Amino acid sequence: MRKLLRADLYRMYRNKKIWIALLAMFSAAGMMISMQYSGMDYEVPLSRVIFLPMTFFGLVIAAYVGFYAGEDFSDGTVRNKIVTGNRRRDIYVSQLVGVWSASLVLYILTVLVAVSVGLPLFACDVGIKEVSMYFILGCFTVLAMGSIFYLISMCIGNRSVAITVCMGLAFLMLFLCLHTNQILAQSQYKNEVLNPHYVSGVKRICYELLHDMNPMGQIAQLSEMKYLSPVRWIVSDVLWLLAAHGIGTVVFGKKDIR
């Protein structure tokens, strides 16, 4: 599988699309940091800025993975890998590792840019330990997100359809996140009166679960550097990774390649 990984990584970093995706994330970081810097009439804490550009990550990685994985089908180069006797499981996994590497590169560089630009401009209210913890949680999220979009792209096997479906799913996850976030953000009391929109009990647990299982929900928590449950966060992502690997290898293994 090492030879396939070498070929996939070469194709990935030789291709302009990864640099376009990176540029998109940097632009998002620049835009959001300048909005925070100039738009607020109070001193904005650094914790609000470090992971804020990641709100765009879902859309960018959806487009990128749809393009990257779909291109292997549209160019037909996936056929070269099969015809030369490589196992389909190896082909799937090596590209998945490539997608993980791209996801992590986009994430790490975006956060680095946000920290380097943010440090001199905003009030430093967080320590390295806290940032590192959220950074690690973010790593799980970006890996899960890349895996989900990769699974979809490999099952579809057509570049334009894959990009459309991945982008559609990214928006769906975003809207779901906005919905669950809005409900969970309600305070129990408003002006010392019980808030009728506040949900509690089993319903609240379900909403929290939905918010934690949704990678966009995790990004929302990451951007605010707050979490509902770090364990649930990590477990959800590990389940996404296992599902993407398991379902993907089975579906791709049986797929008729055109």
Partner 1 sequence: MEYVLTTDALSKHYKKGKALDGLCMHVPKGAIYGFVGKNGAGKTTLIRLICGLSHPTSGSFTLYGMEHTDSEMKKMRKRMGAVVETPALSSDMTAEENLRQQYRILGLSSFDGIKDLLVLVGLEQTGKKKVRAFSLGMKQRLGIAMAMAGEPDFLVLDEPTNGLDPQGIIELRELILKLNHEKGITFLISSHILDELARIATHYGIIDQGKMVKEFSADDLEKECNSKLHIEADVSDAEEIFRILEERGISYEILPGKDKKLEEYFISLIGGDGHA
CB 26 within 8 A of CB 113: yes
The residue within the footprint of partner 1, chosen from 82, 172, 185, 238 (CB under 8 A), is 82
Is 14 a binding residue for partner 1 by CB under 8 A? The answer is yes
Q: What whole-number distance in Å separates Cα of residue 28 and Cα of residue 223?
A: 13
Q: Residue 194 belongs to what H/E stretch?
A: strand 193-194
Q: How many residues bind partner 1 (CB under 8 A)?
A: 27
SS3 category, 189: strand
If DSSP states are collapsed to H, E and C, what string results for 43-111? Answer: CCEHHHCCCHHHHHHHHHHHHHHHHHHHHHHHCCHHHHHHHCCCCHHHHHHHHHHHHHHHHHHHHHHHH
Least Å distance, CB 139 to partner 1, is 28
Q: Return the number of the residue (7 or 105) whose C-beta is nearest partner 1.
A: 7
Is 84 a binding residue for partner 1 by CB under 8 A? The answer is yes
Is 80 a binding residue for partner 1 by CB under 8 A? The answer is yes
Q: What whole-number distance in Å separates Cα of residue 215 and Cα of residue 142?
A: 8
Q: What whole-number distance in Å separates Cα of residue 135 and Cα of residue 54?
A: 11
The residues in 58-77 that bind partner 1, with binding defined as CB under 8 A, are 75-77
Least Å distance, CB 70 to partner 1, is 13
Q: Strand pairing partners for 190? A: 193
Q: Return the number of the residue (2 or 129) whose C-beta is nearest partner 1.
A: 2
Is 79 a binding residue for partner 1 by CB under 8 A? The answer is yes
Is 226 a binding residue for partner 1 by CB under 8 A? The answer is no
Residue 139, exposed/middle/buried by CB under 10 A (0-12, 13-18, 19+)?
Answer: middle
Least Å distance, CB 256 to partner 1, is 4
Is 120 a binding residue for partner 1 by CB under 8 A? The answer is no
The residues in 85-104 that bind partner 1, with binding defined as CB under 8 A, are 85-87
Q: Return the number of the residue (31 or 257) whose C-beta is nearest partner 1.
A: 257
DSSP class of residue 225?
Answer: T
Which residue, 248, 214, 209, 250, is CA-closest to 228? 209
Q: Return the number of the residue (16 or 129) whose C-beta is nearest partner 1.
A: 16
Is 3 a binding residue for partner 1 by CB under 8 A? The answer is yes
Q: Return the number of the residue (79 or 203) whose C-beta is nearest partner 1.
A: 79
Least Å distance, CB 21 to partner 1, is 15
Is 204 a binding residue for partner 1 by CB under 8 A? The answer is no
- From the centroid of its chain, how far is CA 73? 23
User: Interface with partner 1 by CB under 8 A: which residues?
Assistant: 2-4, 6-7, 10-11, 14-16, 75-87, 254, 256-258
